[in-house]
């Protein structure tokens, strides 16, 4: 497929990596369009010959104009986790605008098994997938597993105190590197195959927090013990730390999701798209040590 590939959310972490990986796959600059709410942040990308267009899912008219003449639109899910339906509304705007603009193929970054998930934001993904399927256009859904980089949020404080408070006892997570997820997305979008597909992009192993703590101890030489708490205890400590209620619900639902085994799914989709075994968490924790030790 030699049509253009439009990447929304292009100034975000995943968006930037997808564009980098499309270029690495030999997709030419004139086939890539970067969409962002903040074009000024992508001036250096524009200087390389990549078109940068302003895209805000809150503005359907501007979106339809931006998507005109485009082959594939990759809709990167937004970070609007306000619990008030904003993200789903944004994604629906993106889908209907892409259809109105006459794009040929849709792609979207979702999550594993959104239909049976306990995450507060899973319905956003499920309903966006449904909206995409209902268009009748060829589509590629990337159900992205948990980023290894998410651990950078919990490990610094845990290593400082030596205690990792967790309500996900008994659960496992198949973490994958964000950059390899981007590489897999680029590989799938760069092919000439226009069949509709769902990829579930996960790491090659599902690990418990105890196993992850062991890997972090090995990487850093610091003590770290997992302390199991209930959802209620976790919510109370987050509240005490000043976390807004809506994010407390999100964070507690992630623990419930892990506990239920919903993030332990392992597939070979990531490996087959990138053509090698995904980066193991042990290697990531070694490489990223400086980012999570104080
Ligand atoms: N699988 C996981 O572990 C995991 C973890 C965190 C997040 N996620 C999801 O994956 C997405 C990408 O991850 P990331 O690491 O790249 O997150 P990120 O760096 O926080 O990026 C957030 C993205 O949302 C876009 N966005 C926000 N509001 C928007 C709007 N009104 N219209 C269009 N785009 C909007 C931003 O685009 P611009 O700023 O360029 O407009 C940016 O690409 C996140 O947004 C989230 O849905 C997944």
Q: pLDDT tens, 252-273?
A: 999 999 999 999 999 999 999 9
Distance 228 CA to ligand 1 centre (A): 30
Output the domain CATH number for residue 102: 3.40.50.720
Q: Are 261 and 172 in contact (CB under 8 A)?
A: yes
Considering Cα of 212, then 202, then 150, then 89, what sign does the dihedral take?
Answer: negative
Domain contains 228: no
Residue 157 lies in a domain: no
CA–CA gap between residue 62 and residue 5 (Å, rounded): 18
Flag whether 75 is in a domain: yes
Number of CB atoms found within 10 A of residue 30's CB: 10
Ligand 1 binding residues, C-beta < 6 A: 8-15, 36-38, 55-58, 76-80, 90, 109, 144, 146-147, 150
* Exposed/middle/buried for residue 78 (C-beta within 10 Å: 0-12, 13-18, 19+): buried
Boundaries of domain holding 199: 5-148+175-204+265-279
For position 193, what pLDDT does the model report?
A: 75
What would the DSSP string read from start to end of 220-239?
Answer: H----EEEE--HHHHHHHHH
Instruction: Please indicate, yes or no, if residue 168 is contained in any of the structural domains.
Output: no
Among protein residues, the one with the nearest Cα to ligand 1's atom 27 is 78
- Give the integer Cα–Cα distance in Å for 144 and 185: 10
pLDDT of residue 188: 97
Q: Give the residues of the chain that fall short of pLDDT 70.
A: 1-2
- What integer pLDDT is reported at residue 83 of this predicted model? 85
pLDDT attached to residue 245: 94
- Structural domain includes residue 103: yes
> Residue 218 Cα, ligand 1 centroid: separation in angstroms?
32
Helix (H) or strand (E) holding 198: strand 197-201
Tally of domains in the chain:
1
Give the Å distance between the CA of 142 and the centre of ligand 1.
14
């Amino acid at each position: 497929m030699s049509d253009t590939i439009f990447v929304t959310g292009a100034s975000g972490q995943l968006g930037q990596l997808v564009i980098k990986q499309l270029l690495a796959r030999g997709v030419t600059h004139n086939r890539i369009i970067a969409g962002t709410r903040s074009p000024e942040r992508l001036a250096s990308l524009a200087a390389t010959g990549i078109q940068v267009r302003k895209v805000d899912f809150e503005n359907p008219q501007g979106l339809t104009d931006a998507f005109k003449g485009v082959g594939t639109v990759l809709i990167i899910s937004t970070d609007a986790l306000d619990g008030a339906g904003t993200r789903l509304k944004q994604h629906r705007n993106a889908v209907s605008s892409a259809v109105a603009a006459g794009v040929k193929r849709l792609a979207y970054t979702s999550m594993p098994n959104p239909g049976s998930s306990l995450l507060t934001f899973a319905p956003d993904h499920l309903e966006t997938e449904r909206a995409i399927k209902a268009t009748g256009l060829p589509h590629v859904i990337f159900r992205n597993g948990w980023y290894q980089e998410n651990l950078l949020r919990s490990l610094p404080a845990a290593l400082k105190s030596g205690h990792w408070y967790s309500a996900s006892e008994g659960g496992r997570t198949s973490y994958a590197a964000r950059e390899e997820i981007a590489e897999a997305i680029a590989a799938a979008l760069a092919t000439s195959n226009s069949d509709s597909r769902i990829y579930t992009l996960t790491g090659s192993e599902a690990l418990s927090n105890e196993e992850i703590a062991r890997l972090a101890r090995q990487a850093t030489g610091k003590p770290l013990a997992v302390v199991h708490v209930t959802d209620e205890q976790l919510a109370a400590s987050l509240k005490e730390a000043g976390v807004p209620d809506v994010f407390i619900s999100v964070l507690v639902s992630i623990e419930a999701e892990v506990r239920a085994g919903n993030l332990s799914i392992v597939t070979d989709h990531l490996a087959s798209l990138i053509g090698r075994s995904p980066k193991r968490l042990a290697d990531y924790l070694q490489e990223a040590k400086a980012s999570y030790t104080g």
